[in-house]
């Protein structure tokens, strides 16, 4: 019969105590090495939240691309025309980012690798008039969430200097991307007619600046051709007045007397004298 001490389940055998003493300390395993901890922190800092990267195209670049897309392909086509316009292969990451920027501005629809301009895109690429295009660009500008936040914050106000303005963008996006966001905001707001210079500073307008109506320049006038000299030139220079003899006008009977000739017959001479006497009588009355 075994004793109570031998059969107690709480008794440890020598083998058990050896195995426990040989097992590693689980607590020590859970403490990471300093190098591993540092690499994890570095990769976390490099990770950019989705949507935090600035658009691959500023609004003026996007407007230029879709305008060419409309002019060359009518505003709807497969990836190939856009790929040619952008200068990037449709399989490249740069092309993908530019397409994302165009969608983000609300300018294109992309389905099954077939691209179509949105109504907003058509207003930018083929506006009814310059004012229509500016309104469409402003609408595309505020489609971008970060641009819209900055616009709401500063509209009607003077923009701070870049060294302070970048801090505002650092609130909304990772700090290392804030400067690029700020530059894209300023160039895009400018093309949308939302920035104007005042005393060397930029002010954000509450509504886009309407373009001034274009005035047609008058056609250049041709140099006046010299007219042929039809009339003799009149000498306008003062000249000394020279006295010239004034011819006395002959009277009718003087003319008759002058035509009397000895070769005339007597009857002809008498007729002339008769006429002369008649004229003298008429003159005397």
Look at residue 55 in the predicted model and tell me its pLDDT: 93
Residue 34 has pLDDT above 50, yes or no: no
Share of the chain above pLDDT 70, in %: 64
Pairwise CA distance, residues 117 & 103, whole Å: 10
Pairwise CA distance, residues 37 & 31, whole Å: 10
Confidence at 23, pLDDT banded by 50, 70, 90: very low
Look at residue 276 in the predicted model and tell me its pLDDT: 77
Question: 166: closest CA among 145, 189, 144, 150?
Answer: 150
Q: Give per-residue pLDDT as tens, 119-132.
A: 999 999 999 888 89
Neighbours of 87 (CB within 10 A): 9
Exposed/middle/buried for 232, CB within 10 Å: 0-12, 13-18, 19+? Answer: exposed
Question: 143: closest CA among 167, 164, 123?
Answer: 123
Dihedral sign for Cα 74, 137, 193, 60, please.
negative
Confidence at 46, pLDDT banded by 50, 70, 90: very low
Pairwise CA distance, residues 76 & 59, whole Å: 20
Look at residue 235 in the predicted model and tell me its pLDDT: 54
CA 45, chain centre distance (Å): 39
Residue 285 has pLDDT above 80, yes or no: no
pTM above 0.95, yes or no: no
Pairwise CA distance, residues 25 & 44, whole Å: 30
Q: Give per-residue pLDDT as tens, 227-256.
A: 455 444 545 555 554 545 544 556 675 677
The predicted model gives 147-174 an average pLDDT of: 94
Pairwise CA distance, residues 213 & 219, whole Å: 18
Residue 31 has pLDDT above 80, yes or no: no
Comparison of pLDDT for 73 and 257, the residue scoring more? 73
Pairwise CA distance, residues 75 & 73, whole Å: 6
């Amino acid at each position: 019969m075994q004793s109570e001490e031998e059969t107690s389940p709480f008794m440890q055998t020598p083998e058990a105590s050896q195995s426990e003493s040989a097992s590693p300390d689980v607590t020590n395993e859970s403490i990471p090495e300093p190098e591993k901890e540092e690499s994890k922190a570095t990769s976390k800092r490099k990770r950019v939240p989705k949507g935090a990267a600035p658009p691959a195209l500023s609004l003026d670049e996007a407007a230029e691309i879709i305008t060419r897309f409309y002019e060359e392909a009518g505003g709807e086509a497969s990836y190939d025309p856009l790929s040619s316009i952008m200068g990037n292969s449709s399989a490249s990451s740069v092309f993908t980012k530019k397409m994302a920027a165009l969608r983000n501005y609300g300018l294109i629809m992309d389905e099954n690798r077939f691209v179509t301009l949105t109504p907003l895109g058509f207003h930018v690429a083929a506006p009814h008039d310059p004012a229509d295009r500016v309104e469409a660009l402003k609408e595309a500008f505020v489609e971008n969430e970060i641009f819209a936040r900055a616009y709401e914050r500063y509209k009607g106000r003077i923009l701070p200097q870049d060294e302070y303005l970048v801090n505002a963008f650092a609130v909304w996006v990772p700090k290392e991307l804030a400067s690029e966001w700020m530059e894209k905001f300023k160039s895009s707001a400018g093309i949308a007619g939302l920035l104007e210079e005042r005393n060397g500073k930029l002010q954000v307008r509450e509504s886009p600046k309407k373009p001034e109506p274009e005035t047609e320049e008058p056609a250049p006038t041709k140099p006046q051709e010299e007219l042929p000299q039809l009339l003799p030139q009149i000498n306008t220079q003062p000249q000394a007045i020279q006295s010239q003899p004034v011819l006395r006008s002959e009277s009718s009977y003087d003319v008759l007397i002058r035509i009397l000739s000895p070769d005339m017959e007597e009857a002809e001479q008498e007729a002339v004298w008769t006429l002369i006497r008649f004229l003298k009588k008429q003159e005397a009355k």
